[in-house]
Structure 1
Amino acid sequence: MTYTPQQQSRSSHMQWGLLAPATVILGGAGLVFLGGAQEHAQNGASGWGVALALSAALGIWGLLAFLYVLNWRAAGVRAAMAVNPFIRPRKGGFLKGAIIGTLFVVVLQIASVLIGLFYPGLEQGERNFFFSVPTFYLTALYTVFPIAPVLGGIVGKLWRSTSI
């Protein structure tokens, strides 16, 4: 008698019903921001407005891509659990994610100061903006309001729980 292991495909465990509304909502929002960037560029608005709208579109689409990757990884865990019921998702990962989230904000602060120092052609007011405003508000993301550590911790926990 030949034993053939039960095959479970990853795509059969994907949760397409959850991804479809997210794709419609986030994909549409990304297109709106992309259209806004194009409208700003055609009407001669500042380059900062165009860059801000483009970065918002890319950020929204990045979030959508992250949701697809998490769903793909979770489908792999569900497929493995269907074959072997002793497999359990891994736990933990919050602290590591919180540290990475905080370090990401610190890197953004350092980048803002470096832009203010070394970017050629900035006037004094623009240079002062890069020194004070982003560093001040980004500091609030991990001191006053712990947004960066909490979001990073949640992402770290989700990432670790979707691995075997």
Structure 2
Amino acid sequence: MTTRSYAHVGCATVLLGGAGLLFVAGGLEALQQRAPQGWLAIACGLAIWAILGFLYWINARAYRLQEEAQGQSYAPSAPQRGGFWKGFFVTWAIVAAAHLASFLGMGFADLLPHPEQARAIFSLGVLALVPAHVVVPVLGGAVYSLVRSTALR
């Protein structure tokens, strides 16, 4: 039986949990001061907590896989490796589709009630998605690789 020690995730809990709490509390304080960027800080704090939840989930899957391997009387099968490129290309296709949708939104903004505002919002989306063509697929590939390597057979 595996002794489950969460000591190695203690630092992540303190750092990420504290950073998420700081962002959420700061966002609430900014909203009380009528600052419109308060929602952005709250969203960042919730995203940090989502990352921490993902780390706990992957850790629990890895422990479950290790316990299953120790409980077998024969040699356990090796964990599945790879999968980075599949996750990379799937998430890149999603980012490319979102980028295309932003371009189409800019083109068809004249059909909306406030075309100047809609075009401005879609153009910000186009600019924000430029670095996402690299960052999001790399993260998607890493996440898919982690999920695949901790899957029970």
- TM interval, shorter chain, is 0.7 to 0.9
CA contact (8 A) 2:102 2:122 kept: no
Identify the match of residue 77 of structure 2 among 63, 87, 91.
87
Quick check: which one's helix share is greater? 2
CA contact (8 A) 1:26 1:61 kept: yes
Q: Percent identity?
A: 32
70-79 or 147-156, larger mean C-alpha shift:
147-156
| Alignment match, 1:53 | 41
SS at match of 1:141: helix
| Alignment match, 1:151 | 139
Count how many residue pairs are aligned between Structure 1 and Structure 2: 147
Structure 1: gaps of 5 or more residues: 1-7
Aligned CA RMSD, in angstroms, stands at 2.7
**Stretches (4+) displaced over 3 A:** 12-15, 106-117, 120-123
| Alignment match, 1:42 | 32
Write out aligned runs for 1:1-164 (5 A). 8=1, 12-46=2-36, 49-84=37-72, 85-106=75-96, 108-109=98-99, 110=101, 117=109, 124=116, 126-142=117-133, 146-164=134-152
Deviation at 1:26, TM superposition (A): 0.5
SS at match of 2:79: coil
Structure 2: gaps of 5 or more residues: none
Change (3 A) 1:97 1:154: same
| Alignment match, 1:4 | none
CA contact (8 A) 2:105 2:119 kept: no
